[in-house]
Chain A
Amino acid sequence: MFQLKKRVIDTKIIFTRFAYLSLLTASYCALADGNENLNTKNNFVYDSLKSIQIQCFSLNEDSGNNHSNDTTDLKKMLSSQNTEDRIHALSQLATDSPIDSGFVQEILQQGLTDQDARVRAQAIYALSKQNCNNADLILQQALQDGDLSVRMMALDSLGSNTDEINLLKHALEDEEQAIRELAQVKLATISAQNNNNSKQ
């Protein structure tokens, strides 16, 4: 009888401890997932990006060569469940490394419609570093994204042609201070460059 009572008490203690620790874990997970939910909340732009078909061209002569090892690794990373892996795969396209343009097109298309805003943001920046058509249109769409990281990356990717300057000017009215700040810095840089060019 005593043994049975002791077992019941032991089991109660175990359950209480487990429930307490699980609650702590669940609270932490809920906090961690909060950002993810925010990212997926306001993504009407994400749907419009799905409908845009991008087409990319070689950045340099070497890109036509066989880089199956690179592409296999990148494909593996991009299909990973780990967000950091997908971001890293796309960050490698932010350089002028010789990767087949068809493959670049394929993974950018996939990255631009990723559920995670950080992945979409990295895809936006990579797109701006590659030679793809419709890039301006996609950047314009990305500037409407509900997620700050996507808008920041789109703004960071803008160059200095007339359309892009207009987008930068428009960004001066954004509700986020960081967006307005970056737009101001970029416009000031472009203005200084133009002044230097006109002096020379």
Chain B
Amino acid sequence: MKMLFKKNVFITILNGLLLGYCGLSFAHNQSGSFTTGLVSAVDYYVVSCSDDGNGAPAYLEAQVKDMTANSAKVNILVQKGTTGCSTKACAQFSIDTIDSDTGYSPLIKLSQASGSYNLYVSHTGSGTDSYDVSVHCKTATNLHTGTAVSAKQQQ
């Protein structure tokens, strides 16, 4: 039994290394690109914020890095909820205006507690831009908590 456990651990590590080799990431960074090149392209993700033991989510923070230097600039729009938006914003926008560096766009925060947040990535012009979105769900005391990103639409 002990031997079997050791072997399973070995296999898990080995496959983890293989997955790492071909670029799969489990970090809270979502990379993508606008493969169609169309100006109207929108990539759509759903970010689920939940309590992973660190505490109940209070807000989601996100920013984007445009990884292709060209005329088009990549931006994100995060949205959750439809009521009381005048007191607590239901949607926030952020754009990376400098695409020749490694910096991200300004950090945005949406305080809409736990649940599903809609994340839309688009760009200001035609081009096959690549991007990286950094997204984290956090507690009221700024602790990182359960964050899961699911891709719904890729253009």
Determine whether A109 belongs to the interface, using a CB cutoff of 8 Å to chain B: no
Kindly list chain A residues whose C-beta atoms are within 8 Å of the C-beta of B4.
Answer: 10, 13-14
How far, in angstroms, from A87 to B69 measured CA to CA in the complex? 9
Contact in complex: A91, B68 (CB < 8 Å): yes
A-B contact count (CB 8 A): 101
Determine whether B106 belongs to the interface, using a CB cutoff of 8 Å to chain A: no
Kindly list chain B residues whose C-beta atoms are within 8 Å of the C-beta of A178.
Answer: 36-39, 126, 128
B21-58 vs A, Cβ < 8 Å mask (1 yes, 0 no): 11110000000000111110000000000000000000
If over half of B's interface residues share one DSSP class (helix, strand or loop), that class is named, otherwise mixed; here it is: loop
List residues of B (1-23) whose CB comes within 8 Å of A's CBs: 3-4, 7-8, 11, 14-15, 18-19, 21-23
> A14-B7, A148-B128, A156-B127 are known contacts. Are A125 and B70 too (CB-CB below 8 A)?
yes
Determine whether B67 belongs to the interface, using a CB cutoff of 8 Å to chain A: yes
Q: List 16 A-B contacts (CB under 8 A).
A: A10-B4, A10-B7, A14-B11, A21-B15, A28-B22, A29-B21, A29-B22, A84-B67, A88-B102, A94-B69, A94-B70, A95-B69, A152-B127, A181-B39, A181-B126, A185-B125
Contact of B37 among A90, A152, A185 (CB under 8 A): A152
How far, in angstroms, from A179 to B23 measured CA to CA in the complex? 29
Contact in complex: B130, A118 (CB < 8 Å): yes
How far, in angstroms, from A152 to B69 measured CA to CA in the complex? 12
Contact in complex: B3, A10 (CB < 8 Å): yes
Determine whether A48 belongs to the interface, using a CB cutoff of 8 Å to chain B: no
Q: Can you name 7 extra interface pairs (CB under 8 A) apart from A10-B7, A90-B69, A91-B68? A: A10-B3, A18-B15, A95-B100, A121-B128, A149-B37, A156-B70, A182-B125
